[in-house]
């Protein structure tokens, strides 16, 4: 195992070096890149709520901060502030060697002591109430010397490198933290990334300038400006006129028009967030596997992906998105209303006088919660699902829930659940399929209470739990993937969701800007962009 990991790391280092080379070539001009963001930046502290609002704050953090480890384009782990890392065979600790001579924007050294302070800060649920599943397994950090950090874990935790590469693993300057305090830091961020803070008007604009002493060489632009532009049409015209160089979240129906402009390049990146309808397994009709399978056969998901999302989406073939680490292709569910009706008949349902299926006098009528504007095309998709279910004699009543109240409506205790089906999508922001499956499908400690993480369907399969435990503790990556594949197979067969689609993230740039990246985890990164 050790040898393999070192090899991966070496290969990854090579990639990073060549990326740096590209940047060096591209940095002929020293311009200002302006990014028109669909969400606004409010705070820039990895703790205390972690870079709000999402994803704008994280996108800025990618330029402002370095982390110990990083993701490459395929979500594999590559080094950043740590030159190398090594998980212990029992997965109970991890030793990291830090890059020498790195300083923060304020000139203080980014050494083992600084890293230790950061790790302890993120462990502290008081100061860092968000991203808990990522940080809870960490027990502490030790610093044998000023370039070595050993992170201790409470239980075997194979995902630690993903946590360190996650946005919340940003390493902040302890001196700046001391100076501005826990409350002041969020507006006065100091990191060790390629750009440093110039000015920040929360909710409006953020201006970063190149950090001359960056360990990776001078960054690709003199300055990066983040501007909040909520309305898609306004973002697009700002890009077309050149008042911004990059925009995110381009509505898929407008891509074609935008692509016709010779000065504009479109970057599309499949996301990691599978959208589906969680099925409330505390409700009698949905406890029947045949009913859940029937629902899945009733909806033309391929057609939705192709027609409604103009091909900028795909129907899933597993509970995990295609590019999530650990994804295994299990199989697609064909649109087959005949099969769906047959399954309902097998489950004991017969059409009633109003055409709706009945069993023991109970109509198969389901309440579907859907938000407006939280997921791509959410209401349109909900309407299509309702119409498709009507075709097999299942009534689906859509209840549109106000955006601000939506997450709370999903995560109720069992008694407070107003829905039979609820639209939901989980974005595994550390890129790990294990994190994704654990969050959604590990049995809740108590199904009547609020779900521990996001198992809102109240799915429980002891064998899945066992495979997830295995995936957390197997020393060999191949065995972990096998356990994950096994879990995906079981979950897919149990169908606790009506699976819908996986959307792509679409960003557009002026062609004069090079190196803009869209990560599968939603973020548009300007870290390696050059102008």
Among 234, 399, 413, 448, binds other proteins (CB under 8 A): 399
Q: Helix H segments across 195-252?
A: 232-241
Supply the DSSP string of 455-519, one letter for each residue: -TT----HHHHHHHHHHHH-SSHHHHHHHHHHHHHHHHHH--EEEEEEEEEEEEEETTSB--EE-
383 is a contact residue toward other proteins (CB under 8 A)? yes
304 is a contact residue toward other proteins (CB under 8 A)? yes
Among 126, 402, 415, 462, binds other proteins (CB under 8 A): 402
303 is a contact residue toward other proteins (CB under 8 A)? yes
Kindly compute the dihedral angle of the four CA atoms of residues 45, 49, 53, 55, in this order, to the nearest 10 degrees.
80
User: Which is closer to other proteins, CB of 242 or CB of 373?
Assistant: 373
| CB 512, min distance to other proteins, A | 25
179 is a contact residue toward other proteins (CB under 8 A)? no
Among 33, 60, 386, 484, binds other proteins (CB under 8 A): 386
| CB 397, min distance to other proteins, A | 7
User: Which is closer to other proteins, CB of 20 or CB of 257?
Assistant: 257
350-351 sheet: strands from edge to edge:
350-351, 357-359, 362-363
| CB 405, min distance to other proteins, A | 9
247 is a contact residue toward other proteins (CB under 8 A)? no
Do the Cβ atoms of 57 and 43 come closer than 8 Å?
A: yes
Can you tell me whether residue 304 is helix, strand or coil? helix
Residues 6+ away with beta carbon under 8 Å from 117: 174, 177
Q: How far apart are CA 358 and CA 254, in angstroms?
A: 43
| CB 366, min distance to other proteins, A | 14
Among 18, 204, 253, 413, binds other proteins (CB under 8 A): 253
397 is a contact residue toward other proteins (CB under 8 A)? yes
| CB 256, min distance to other proteins, A | 8
Q: How far apart are CA 493 and CA 269, in angstroms?
A: 28
Q: How far apart are CA 279 and CA 277, in angstroms?
A: 6
240 is a contact residue toward other proteins (CB under 8 A)? no
Q: How far apart are CA 70 and CA 62, in angstroms?
A: 10
| CB 253, min distance to other proteins, A | 6
Cβ burial, residue 44 (10 Å; 0-12/13-18/19+): buried
User: Which is closer to other proteins, CB of 87 or CB of 394?
Assistant: 394
Stretch that binds other proteins, among 109-117, 129-137, 156-164, 396-404 (CB under 8 A): 396-404
Binding mask 183-202 for other proteins (x = CB under 8 A): --------------------
Do the Cβ atoms of 454 and 426 come closer than 8 Å?
A: yes
| CB 395, min distance to other proteins, A | 12
| CB 302, min distance to other proteins, A | 10
Do the Cβ atoms of 171 and 69 come closer than 8 Å?
A: no
| CB 297, min distance to other proteins, A | 16
Stretch that binds other proteins, among 53-61, 136-144, 302-310, 425-433 (CB under 8 A): 302-310
418 is a contact residue toward other proteins (CB under 8 A)? no
Can you tell me whether residue 334 is helix, strand or coil? coil
Among 76, 175, 223, 254, binds other proteins (CB under 8 A): 254
Among 94, 382, 394, 502, binds other proteins (CB under 8 A): 382
300 is a contact residue toward other proteins (CB under 8 A)? yes
What HEC string does 438-465 produce?
HHHHCCCCCCCCCCCCCCCCCCCCHHHH
Taking alpha carbons only, the member of 275, 278, 337 closest to residue 312 is 275
230 is a contact residue toward other proteins (CB under 8 A)? no
Do the Cβ atoms of 84 and 176 come closer than 8 Å?
A: no
| CB 305, min distance to other proteins, A | 11
Phi/psi at 424 (nearest 5 deg)? Answer: -155, 150
User: Which is closer to other proteins, CB of 333 or CB of 386?
Assistant: 386
User: Which is closer to other proteins, CB of 50 or CB of 370?
Assistant: 370
Total of residues contacting other proteins (CB under 8 A):
26
| CB 230, min distance to other proteins, A | 13
Stretch that binds other proteins, among 21-29, 300-308, 356-364, 448-456 (CB under 8 A): 300-308
End-to-end CA distance of the chain: 41
Taking alpha carbons only, the member of 383, 444, 392 closest to residue 417 is 444
| CB 523, min distance to other proteins, A | 23
Stretch that binds other proteins, among 56-64, 100-108, 352-360, 384-392 (CB under 8 A): 384-392
Do the Cβ atoms of 128 and 50 come closer than 8 Å?
A: yes
Taking alpha carbons only, the member of 77, 362, 24, 434 closest to residue 194 is 24
User: Which is closer to other proteins, CB of 372 or CB of 408?
Assistant: 372
372 is a contact residue toward other proteins (CB under 8 A)? yes
Residues forming beta bridges with residue 371, ordered by sequence position: 401
Taking alpha carbons only, the member of 279, 275, 350 closest to residue 319 is 275
Interface with other proteins by CB under 8 A: which residues? 232-233, 251, 253-254, 256-257, 300, 303-304, 307-308, 372, 379-380, 382-384, 386-387, 390, 397-400, 402
């Amino acid at each position: 195992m050790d040898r393999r990991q070192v090899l991966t790391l070496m290969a990854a280092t090579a990639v990073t070096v060549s990326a740096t080379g590209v940047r060096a070539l591209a940095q002929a001009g020293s311009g200002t890149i302006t990014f028109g963001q669909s969400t606004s930046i409010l705070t820039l502290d990895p703790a205390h709520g972690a870079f709000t609002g999402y994803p704008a704050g994280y996108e800025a953090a990618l330029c402002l901060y370095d982390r110990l480890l990083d993701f490459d384009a395929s979500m594999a782990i590559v080094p950043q502030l740590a030159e190398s890392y090594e998980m212990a065979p029992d997965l109970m600790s991890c030793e990291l060697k830090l890059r020498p001579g790195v300083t923060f924007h304020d000139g203080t050294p980014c050494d083992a002591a600084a890293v230790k302070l950061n790790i302890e800060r993120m462990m502290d649920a008081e100061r860092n109430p968000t991203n808990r599943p990522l940080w809870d397994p960490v027990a502490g950090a030790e610093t044998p010397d000023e370039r070595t950090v050993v992170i201790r874990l409470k239980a075997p935790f194979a995902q630690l490198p993903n946590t360190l590469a996650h946005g919340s693993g940003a390493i902040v300057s302890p001196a700046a933290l001391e100076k501005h305090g826990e409350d002041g830091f969020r507006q006065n961020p100091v990191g060790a990334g390629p750009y440093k803070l110039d000015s920040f008007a929360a909710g409006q604009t953020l201006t970063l300038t190149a950090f001359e002493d960056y360990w990776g060489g001078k960054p690709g632009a003199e300055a990066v400006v983040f501007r909040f532009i909520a309305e898609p049409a306004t973002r697009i015209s700002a890009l077309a006129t050149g008042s911004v160089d990059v925009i995110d979240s381009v509505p898929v129906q407008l891509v074609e028009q935008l692509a016709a402009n010779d000065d504009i390049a479109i970057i599309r990146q499949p996301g990691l967030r599978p959208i589906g309808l969680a099925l409330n397994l505390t409700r009698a009709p949905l406890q029947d596997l045949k009913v859940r399978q029937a629902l899945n056969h009733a909806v033309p998901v391929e057609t939705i992906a192709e027609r409604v999302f103009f091909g900028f989406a795909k129907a899933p073939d597993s509970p995990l998105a295609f590019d999530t680490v650990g994804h295994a292709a299990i199989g697609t569910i064909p649109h087959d209303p005949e099969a769906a009706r047959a399954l309902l008949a097998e489950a004991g349902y017969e059409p009633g006088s109003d055409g709706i299926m009945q069993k023991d006098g109970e109509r198969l009528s389901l309440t579907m919660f859907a938000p407006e504007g939280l997921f791509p095309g959410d209401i349109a998709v909900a309407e299509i699902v309702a119409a498709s279910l009507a075709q097999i004699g299942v009534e689906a009543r859509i209840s549109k829930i106000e955006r601000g109240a939506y997450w709370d409506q999903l995560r109720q205790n069992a008694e407070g659940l107003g829905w039979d089906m609820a639209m939901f999508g989980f974005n595994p922001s550390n890129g790990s399929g294990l994190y994704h499956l654990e969050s959604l499908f590990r049995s809740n400690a108590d199904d009547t209470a609020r779900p521990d993480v996001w198992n809102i369907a109240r799915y429980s399969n002891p064998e899945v739990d066992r495979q997830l435990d295995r995936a957390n503790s197997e020393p060999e990556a191949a065995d972990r993937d096998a356990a994950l594949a096994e879990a995906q197979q079981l979950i897919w067969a149990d169908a606790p969701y009506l699976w819908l689609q996986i959307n792509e993230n679409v960003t557009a740039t002026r062609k004069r800007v090079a190196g803009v990246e869209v990560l599968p985890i939603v973020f548009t990164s300007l870290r390696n962009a050059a102008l």
